[in-house]
Structure 1
Amino acid sequence: MPPSRRRVVVTQRFFDQATIDYLEQAGCEVVQADLPPGQADGNLSHDELVRHLAGAAGWIVGHARVTRELMAALPDLRIVSRRGVGYDRVDLAAAGDLGKVVCIAVGGNHESVADHTLALMLAVGHRFRETQARMIGGDWSILLGTDLYRKTVGVIGPGRIGRSVVQRLAGFEAEVLVHGGSPDAGYAARSGVTWVDLDELLVRSDYVTIHAPLTPETRFIIDAGALARMKPAAFLINTARGGLVDDAALLDALRNGVIAGAGLDVFLSEADPAFKPVTQALLELPNVIATPHSGASSREGLDRTNMVAARCVVAVLDGGDPPAECVVADGRKG
């Protein structure tokens, strides 16, 4: 395929027409990868990605691994724009070395993920899965659930998503404990949260929800020791990244009543297939509510995130700068 200065390849599903129109009006040729049903770009091999991206100047990507080898094989590629905010699958150092720009879609999906987080809290606390399964089998007996109202909720990672969760928890009159980042006295006073260390958060919280980035420092921030410090009646929610939680330790804790339940949108097996049996075992537990990394996948959230990613692409192809908060690597600056 011959190169095109304005060719933009989209390897994500659910790319809305309004965003396509915006790119085309900006002089871009939009090519949507024709993926088989049920396949995401994270399943594409290096050779398949090279084939899809040949001649592209811009790439709007989902969960594909963006390696040094891949970027080196795509000399026309100027910008990798993630429809999302995580970038642990992108080799940022390589992007800088190879003169590429890497952007994330900051501000597009945090409200959707926050909604999803509260949904998981309510679903696992009120035992929706267990109740419906019993009803399907003809058992309409009542299982006692756990309120979110006036409970203590620990938020690990007070970024955009974490703070959107805090905002929603105000309606439940929850006491909110926060861990991570630099304590912000002004935000704490306005929102009524309290910054605490991780141990205090774990010991005191009825619900623990994780919204931290995955880094070497945060990997397995919830391990067997952390789970043992939580209340036996507490619930763990993870809508951030697989790898923040030691899923094998979580499985053991749930089986043995160390904690009461979990709401999970992400799994360690997404990055490490060796953990697929652990994921499957978690999915089969009655006290687990699970979704397939779909927290950001509302119609509205995807439309917003598509547009943020597209605006970053156009800015770079026009020779300008995307919003500073969206840029995680800029190899143009040497």
Structure 2
Amino acid sequence: MSGKSHRVVVTQNFFDPDTRRYLEKAGCEVVQAELPPGSADRNMDHDTLVSLLAGADGWIVGHAMVTRELMQALPDLKIISRRGVGYERVDCEAARDLGKVVCIAAGGNDASVADHTLAMMLAVGHRLRETQANMIDGNWKILSGRDLFRKTVGIVGLGRIGKSLVQRLQGFQARILVTTRTRDAAYAETSGVEYCDLDHLLRESDYVSLHAPLTDATRFLIDAKAMAMMKEDAILVNAARGGLVDDRALLETLRRGHLFGAALDTFVSEADATYQPVTAALLTLPNVVATPHAGASTKEGLIRTNRVAAECVVAVLCGGRLNPDCVVTDGRTPPPA
């Protein structure tokens, strides 16, 4: 471990004391950004980030845009460690070109997001939002909902979160269809999942749950055509990334009465402000249950992801071994022994 003090900036609202002490014990000076109430680092502009991160060796980041221009303005910055698992807001090619390391907190929030996904499935299926709104208005009429028990659930993308969801669905005796780039026959044997193509999954599933990364290939993967393939009483769940679903097409699909409902933790409008009216309209629909990209934000999940992100920082700055599952890109040359 190096005796030098490394400056690590945290631009997240919640950073637990134990993880802070872990960094300090490793020889890091921890600086936590003070964000206005209700704000997040995604709201910080380039100049604010440059001022805050000047001289920093490490950055534990949430949802800020990490551009080539920003990284060029921060020559001392060695590692960008995301407290989360998505990295589409980081210019990874630029990071590699500039000799920086980009990491994600792999394995930290799987359970939290899987729990959240299951909760949203049940909330839409049992019409909890509609029922409570009616009761507030004095209408105690009982609405007929949908079971999850023994239903067919289609999972698009089978990473850690997808597999965590599979474990939970087994308790509902669900038939589980999976569309993924790689098919593990041994996993299918032990878990009981059935691999299939996307079209088959859409046609057969009572619930469709998205757990894929956002890439050029997956952007608007669930568009108007895909939604038309789904059962009229199916439920669509997106707790992965805004942009996997064409939200404008989803709004029109729901307004036509095709689909029982939708559960949304992510929205196109998070990255594209022109979709804000679409998001606002979706939120008004009684058969939409929505949360503000909060699936990973349990106290326990945040503590876990804080720690994984911090461990990546310590490995890079203090000469330790990086967990390969956490590495998105490593621009150091030559790499450490």
With the shorter chain as reference, the TM-score category is over 0.9
| Alignment CA distance shift 1:49-1:242 (3 Å) | same
Q: Distance in 2 between matches of 1:27 and 1:213?
A: 34
Asked whether the equivalents of residues 239 and 295 of structure 1 are also in contact (C-alpha less than 8 Å), the reply is yes
Asked whether the equivalents of residues 26 and 318 of structure 2 are also in contact (C-alpha less than 8 Å), the reply is no
Q: Does 1:234 align with 2:234?
A: yes
Q: Does 1:204 align with 2:207?
A: no
Letter in 2 for 1:230: M
In structure 2, the residue matched to 1:330 is 330
In structure 2, the residue matched to 1:184 is 184
Q: Distance in 2 between matches of 1:93 and 1:319?
A: 23
Q: Does 1:60 align with 2:47?
A: no
Q: Distance in 2 between matches of 1:265 and 1:147?
A: 21
In structure 2, the residue matched to 1:264 is 264
Q: Does 1:97 align with 2:124?
A: no
Q: Does 1:8 align with 2:12?
A: no
Letter in 1 for 2:209: T
* SS in structure 2 at match of 1:20: helix
Shift of 1:5: 5.1
Asked whether the equivalents of residues 23 and 29 of structure 1 are also in contact (C-alpha less than 8 Å), the reply is yes
* SS in structure 1 at match of 2:144: coil
In structure 2, the residue matched to 1:147 is 147
In structure 2, the residue matched to 1:121 is 121
* SS in structure 1 at match of 2:212: coil
* SS in structure 1 at match of 2:131: helix
In structure 2, the residue matched to 1:195 is 195
Asked whether the equivalents of residues 153 and 208 of structure 1 are also in contact (C-alpha less than 8 Å), the reply is yes
Shift of 1:70: 0.2
In structure 1, the residue matched to 2:41 is 41
Q: Distance in 1 between matches of 2:220 and 2:110?
A: 23
Q: What whole-Å deviation, never above 9, does each CA across 1:47-80 have from its counterpart, x for those lacking one?
A: 0100111111000000000000000000110000
* SS in structure 1 at match of 2:171: helix
Asked whether the equivalents of residues 118 and 165 of structure 1 are also in contact (C-alpha less than 8 Å), the reply is yes
Q: Distance in 2 between matches of 1:6 and 1:110?
A: 30
* SS in structure 1 at match of 2:145: coil
In structure 1, the residue matched to 2:170 is 170
In structure 2, the residue matched to 1:25 is 25
Asked whether the equivalents of residues 112 and 301 of structure 2 are also in contact (C-alpha less than 8 Å), the reply is yes
In structure 2, the residue matched to 1:317 is 317
* SS in structure 2 at match of 1:333: coil
Letter in 1 for 2:282: L
Letter in 2 for 1:32: Q
Q: Distance in 1 between matches of 2:251 and 2:95?
A: 37
Q: Distance in 1 between matches of 2:58 and 2:51?
A: 14
Shift of 1:180: 1.2
Identity of aligned residues (%): 68
In structure 1, the residue matched to 2:134 is 134
Shift of 1:257: 1.1
Q: Indicate the larger mover: 69-78 or 315-324.
A: 315-324
Letter in 1 for 2:179: H
Q: What whole-Å deviation, never above 9, does each CA across 1:277-333 have from its counterpart, x for those lacking one?
A: 000000000000000000000000000000000000000001333101101111103
Letter in 2 for 1:329: T
User: Any unmatched runs of 5+ in structure 1?
Assistant: none
Q: CA RMSD in A?
A: 0.8
Q: Distance in 1 between matches of 2:130 and 2:221?
A: 28
User: Any unmatched runs of 5+ in structure 2?
Assistant: none
Asked whether the equivalents of residues 5 and 56 of structure 1 are also in contact (C-alpha less than 8 Å), the reply is no
Q: Distance in 2 between matches of 1:31 and 1:95?
A: 22
Q: Distance in 1 between matches of 2:274 and 2:280?
A: 11
Q: Distance in 2 between matches of 1:98 and 1:38?
A: 33
Shift of 1:149: 0.3
In structure 1, the residue matched to 2:106 is 106
* SS in structure 1 at match of 2:81: strand
Shift of 1:46: 0.3
Q: TM-score, normalised by structure 1?
A: 0.98
Q: Indicate the larger mover: 62-71 or 4-13.
A: 4-13
In structure 2, the residue matched to 1:246 is 246
Q: Does 1:303 align with 2:332?
A: no
In structure 1, the residue matched to 2:218 is 218
Letter in 1 for 2:107: G
Q: Distance in 1 between matches of 2:197 and 2:238?
A: 19
Q: Distance in 2 between matches of 1:13 and 1:243?
A: 25
Q: Distance in 1 between matches of 2:324 and 2:191?
A: 26
Dislocated runs of 4+, deviation >3 Å: none
Letter in 1 for 2:244: L
Q: What whole-Å deviation, never above 9, does each CA across 1:160-218 have from its counterpart, x for those lacking one?
A: 00010000000000000000121111000100000000010000000000000001111
Asked whether the equivalents of residues 5 and 27 of structure 2 are also in contact (C-alpha less than 8 Å), the reply is no
* SS in structure 2 at match of 1:158: coil
In structure 2, the residue matched to 1:279 is 279
Q: Does 1:160 align with 2:160?
A: yes
Q: Distance in 1 between matches of 2:323 and 2:213?
A: 20
Q: Distance in 2 between matches of 1:223 and 1:68?
A: 31
* SS in structure 2 at match of 1:85: coil
